[in-house]
Structure 1
Amino acid sequence: MTEDRTPAAARARPVRVVPLDAALHVVVLGAALAVLGNTMHTWLVIVCSPWLEEIVFRLGLQDALQRCLPRLGGAVPVILTAIAFGAAHAVLNPGPWAWATALPALPIGAVYRRLGRLAPCALLHAAFNLIWFAGGPNLAFAKLVAESPS
């Protein structure tokens, strides 16, 4: 009988939401509603997108890479998933800001690799989205426009 060398985070497991995770997600959502307003865009960016994208990229791609590439170490699937995440955003919205989404995908992937749970990843993703849409490139762009000669 052969020994299972699949990393613990890549083994099949049920998706579960811990009450603290849910409570923190509500806090992030509340902050988003306060900062961005109660719009469909806010709900999509803070609730729907993080969960859907984490299901696809963590439960789907990162888990598959961890199973297929166990000898390359845990960081390789995290890095490849982050690159794929950036590429997916670049396909939908070409440009450097879309590729920049690969950067926060790295710590999200590391959290998933360590904890093997989806809820903390979706929460972290929602928090990154809140920062991104409340400030991030929007503030940088606004500053550039304000400083440019008319």
Structure 2
Amino acid sequence: MTPAVASAARPAHGLRLDAPLWAAMLLAPAAAWAWHALAPRGAATAMPDGPGLWMLLLVAPVLEEIVFRAGLQASLVRRGWQPGLAIVLASAAFAAWHLAAGQGLAALAVFLPSLVFGHAYARHGLACAMACHAWFNACHLAAIAVS
């Protein structure tokens, strides 16, 4: 079994996350607040409606992590790419996807969290990447709510 496939098949181990991932999860609320404090008005700062909330908190984290982590990132690793480079390329594709979806320059801000999701996938599996993605989106929504 290749490392990428093994990563996707790895069972969850509770909250045994590594220090960089814990740090990213703890810093996510501050990063979301900073983005909303510094971002130009209109740059992904509107609170979505009910279906939009479900999309951001459940559907997008599940589907996007399947496509970009279990799909693209794992495929690159299977083809012999270094895991770190696979994470960077999958994250660039993730940001490009958000740019193509019409999010403008705000789409570029998803590149850094995407690196976290890629790390979570590589070290802890797909479910962890999905949970991290949902957490970052929740922090984003909380920052919108308080701004």
Cα displacement string for residues 63-100 of structure 1 (whole angstroms, at most 9, x for unaligned residues): 11111233xx2200000000000000000024221111
Tell me, yes or no, if the aligned pair for 2:120 and 2:132 is still in contact at 8 Å.
no
CA distance in 2, matches of 1:19, 1:64: 24
CA distance in 2, matches of 1:101, 1:65: 20
TM-score by length of 1: 0.65
Please tell me whether residue 119 in structure 1 is matched to residue 127 in structure 2: yes
Equivalence for 2:80: 69
Q: Output the amino acid matched with 1:132.
A: H
Equivalence for 1:93: 102
CA drift of 1:12 comes to 8.3
Q: CA RMSD in A?
A: 3.0
TM-score by length of 2: 0.67
Structure with larger Rg: 1
CA distance in 2, matches of 1:37, 1:96: 19
CA distance in 1, matches of 2:86, 2:128: 18
Equivalence for 2:69: 58
Q: Output the amino acid matched with 1:107.
A: V
**Where does structure 2 lack aligned partners over 5 or more consecutive residues?**
16-46
CA distance in 2, matches of 1:50, 1:13: 15
- The secondary structure found in structure 2 opposite 1:69 is coil
Equivalence for 2:43: none
Q: Which has the higher contact order (CA 8 A, sep 6+)?
A: 2
State, as a whole percentage, how many aligned pairs show the same letter.
32
Tell me, yes or no, if the aligned pair for 2:56 and 2:134 is still in contact at 8 Å.
yes
Q: Output the amino acid matched with 1:112.
A: Y
Q: Output the amino acid matched with 1:55.
A: I
Aligned residues: 116
What is the 5 A alignment of 1:1-150? 6=2, 8-11=3-6, 14=9, 18=12, 39-70=50-81, 73-115=82-124, 117-135=125-143, 138=144
Cα displacement string for residues 1-45 of structure 1 (whole angstroms, at most 9, x for unaligned residues): xxx8x4x234585597x5959xxxxxxxxxxxxxx7981111111
CA distance in 2, matches of 1:86, 1:13: 22
Q: Which 4+ runs in 1 deviate beyond 6 A? A: none
